[in-house]
Structure 1
Amino acid sequence: MRLSASAPPRRTTTPFSLVLAAVLLLVGGLLLALPDRAGAAADTLISQGRPATSSSVEDGTFGPEKAFDGDSATRWASAEGVDPQWLRVDLGPSATVSRVKLVWEAAYATAYRVEISADGVAWTRLATETAGNGGTDDWTGLTGQGRHLRVYGTARGTPYGYSLYTVEVYGTSGTTPPPTGSFSVVAAGDIAAQCTASSSSCAHPKTAALAQRLAPAFYLTMGDNQYDDALLSDFRNYYDKSWGAFKAKTRPVPGNHETYDPAGPLAGYKAYFGSIAYPQGEPYYSYDQGNWHFVALDSNSFDDPAQIQWLKDDLARNTKGCVAAYFHHPLYSSGGHGNDPVSKPVWKILYAAGADLVLNGHDHHYERFAPQDPDGRATSAGIVEIVGGMGGAEPYDIETVQPNSQKRISGTYGVLRLDLTDTTYTWQYVGVDDRVKDSAPTYTCH
């Protein structure tokens, strides 16, 4: 092992040299004389189990989380034959990194960088490899601070892709180990225009690929899943070719376009999703994950007394500490459709039950609001609303900025990545270029 001391960051030697070094240690009895091993042992592992993303995956069995699961038999693998590729981990706010250990599979990098970033946009280089030969690379003596760390591969050592059994990041972090019950969710609304990946301007295949790379526990859609009239044939020809790849892990709700089907309102939507969208026999339903209760609603029929009574009863039965609801029409929006009062009675029910988060689509932009009550008054006891209608449909302009609106982005396709724990939630709006466009504060559940 090359010592780091005050020199620039170094890495271990090749696998053959490691074997030779082990023999010398056994023969010479020198194990206790290596100060860098003692120093490495004092480092704290801060990356295990943390949320991870990647530029691509070979398939669903080689997701980015595999490199951080503590299992040396599992691995992340990128798509084959494409440079560059990257693997990224969220270490939590204000992590300090002193060491990064990489264990490569046969598909290794001959050239790569280890980088750190506070916001996932601007990156600082911690280490550079230009003559990699696989095996184990142990970079010590690093000095870096930020939230996100990534391994950025620029040249492959094989015709395949990049593949890492483990990435171990050592240092200090304010959120290690991960908070209790943590999981991630990817969400978007207003998704499948009538186009496919054969058109470079078609956005929903790009948002679907991004959603898969983020590797969440499950996916939410906030309506208008398929344009224009949500026919079953259109679902099969367009949505199914992109977001349909993870249909089994999707929990959808309908939008107004799902009501335009000539065969009947929601006919194509129901035929395509089946029990996924109707797990309780209606287009509204609920489920739990961790300490979260999720309520999926059909805002096309908020005037239906049966749905309203179901919502009241469902919230009365809830025993979870955090509540999120999602439906198509936002009560508040700065976009072309603007505020939709049809949602106000539902907001009043949710607010009275102490709900924390509401997700909507309908307007084709991204927007987040400060906590507010149903009348639009800012209050710490209020509901946080997110408009996330940038899943693939043509963007809408921002028109009239509403009170309590904190951030608005139009013209950039992307998805929401929500990070939830037993007591908190936060999120990022990630563009199809894999750049984080907005990071929200961390909120504590009511």
Structure 2
Amino acid sequence: MRLSILAFCIPALLFCSAHATDNTKQAGKKPPIKPVSVTVYVAGDIADCRKKPAEESMAARTAELIAAGLDKDKTARAITLGDNTYPVGNPSEFTKCYDPTWGRFKDKTLPSPGNHDYGMPKALGYYNYFGDLAGPDRRGYYATRLGKWQILSLNSNLDQPQMQAQLSWLKEELANNKQSCTLAFWHHPVYSSGGHGNNENMQAAWKMLAAAKADIVLTSHDHDYERFAPLDANGDRDDKQGIRSFVVGTGGAKLTPMFLPKGSTEIRDNSTHGVLKLSLHDKSYEWEFLPVPGQSFTDKGKGSCH
């Protein structure tokens, strides 16, 4: 008799459990929201075909790293940190050197201009090549969103009136931001121990981003890789609220010497070409420097948004 009762009750319990689940769904309860994660591949100082054709250039090798990642993840994006071509950013440099390399994923690229791109009057080659991808009105700055991240592409090559217009725009973008995390990128680093050193062009933008508790700033200009500890508005270390910044001038142009490291330098290298891979999560991020095949330097870690 005891066995008979068990045999009867077990299906009943299963039915009751399934029935309760159905009632929960019918009550209108929403399933948990899945975390959003977006991957970006980053470098600047990219396409230089003065000594080698495009297919043999170092830009072709860094482009392979990105193309492989984009093939596996259709939501991933590439970011350029300026000096997209050398030596002066003329249209033929974009068509003959950039397009066969990083141009393979042009439609998935978020670009920014560098001083070599402005070697042509008004950066004609850069804006003609990237078109709407470079932002509106050929001003060189724009905002977009990736996952839960506010993404700000800024222009560090502007004269004072244009820079003031950019700062006014930036102030408004930061004030209206509703995303969990913020990443900004441009060409000239505010802080660097590379050959060009610190650059004041974007100091006001840095202070504005720090006040808004931005999380990451990406730059290039110096042809090396350097990661800094989180820094506050004045460039002092602030592990809780500071901006973590990277110099990633390793996209293909010849690597250059570095000076003594800054007190806030955490790691640096000027012997390896490659790209920075950033995984942007809902409230955190991970980074990994990917070297081109045959070179060995790498760097990886993770952080949380403010």
Which amino acid in the other structure matches residue 58 of structure 2? A
Gaps (5+ residues) in structure 1? Answer: 1-178
Listed one character per residue, the Cα deviations across residues 180-199 of structure 1 (whole Å, up to 9, x for unaligned) are 11121101000000242454
1:107 matched residue in structure 2: none
Structure 2 CA distance for partners of 1:198 and 1:439, relative to 1, 3 Å: closer
Shift of 1:439: 3.2
1:222-237 → structure 2 map (5 Å cutoff): 222-237=81-96
- When you count strand as a share of all residues, which structure comes out higher? 1
- 5+ long unaligned stretches in structure 2: 1-33
Aligned with 2:257: secondary structure? Answer: coil
Asked if 2 retains the 8 angstrom alpha-carbon contact of 1:429 and 1:436, the reply is no
Matched, 1:353 2:208: no
Corresponding letter in the other structure for 1:332:
Y
Does the 8 Å contact 1:338/1:400 carry over to 2?
A: no
Partner Cα distance (1:419, 1:292) in 2: 11
Q: Deviations over 1:400-432 (max 9, x none)?
A: 211210000112110011011001011111111
Rounded to whole Å, the distance in 1 between the matches of 2:86 and 2:184 is: 23
Q: TM-score, normalised by structure 2?
A: 0.83
Residues 302, 346 of structure 1: 8 Å contact kept? no
Structure-2 residue corresponding to 1:187:
42
Counterpart contact for 2:39–2:277, Cα < 8 Å: yes
The question of whether the paired residues in 2 share the 8 Å contact of 1:223 and 1:361 is answered with: yes
2:248 matched residue in structure 1: 388
2:272–2:296 contact (8 Å) kept in structure 1: no
Give the whole-Å Cα distance in 2 for the aligned partners of 1:311 and 1:439: 30
SS at match of 2:42: strand
Name the aligned partner's letter for residue 414 of structure 1: G
Aligned match for 2:142, one of 285, 289, 310: 285
**Total equivalences in the alignment:** 264
Q: Aligned match of 2:59 in 189, 204, 208?
A: 204
In the TM superposition, residue 265 of structure 1 has moved relative to its aligned partner by 2.1
Matched, 1:300 2:157: yes
1:221 equivalent to 2:76? Answer no
Q: Using the aligned pairs only, state the percent identity.
A: 41
Deviation at 1:440, TM superposition (A): 3.1
Structure 2 CA distance, aligned partners of 1:341 and 1:418?
A: 26
Cα shift at 1:302 = 6.5
SS, match of residue 298 in structure 2: strand
* Deviation readout 1:303-345 (Å, 9 max, x if unpaired): 3211110010111111001000000000111110011122211
Partner of 1:311: 170
Give the distance between the partners of 1:302 and 1:292, measured in 2 at CA. Answer: 29
Q: Say if 1:376 and 1:403, in contact at 8 Å, map to a contact too.
A: no
Q: Do the aligned partners of residues 294 and 280 (structure 1) sit closer, same or farther apart at CA in structure 2, a change above 3 Å counting?
A: farther
State the Cα distance separating 1:281 from its structure 2 match: 5.5
Q: Are 2:55 and 2:101, in contact at CA under 8 Å, matched by a contact in 1?
A: no
Structure 1: distance between partners of 2:300 and 2:229: 10
The match for 1:330 is 189
Counterpart secondary structure, 1:265: helix
Q: Look up the SS of the partner of 1:385 in the other structure.
A: strand
Q: Is the Cα–Cα contact under 8 Å of residues 324 and 358 in structure 1 kept in the other structure?
A: yes
Which has a greater percent of helix?
2
Structure 1 length-normalised TM: 0.57
Contact residue 302 and residue 343 of structure 1 kept, 8 A? no
| Structure 1 residue identity aligned to 2:222 | D
Question: 1:367 touches 1:409 (CA, 8 Å); kept in 2?
Answer: yes
Supply the AA of the counterpart residue of 1:324. Answer: L
The equivalent residue for 1:27 is: none
* 1:213 Cα offset (Å): 1.1
2:198 is equivalent to residue 339 of structure 1: yes
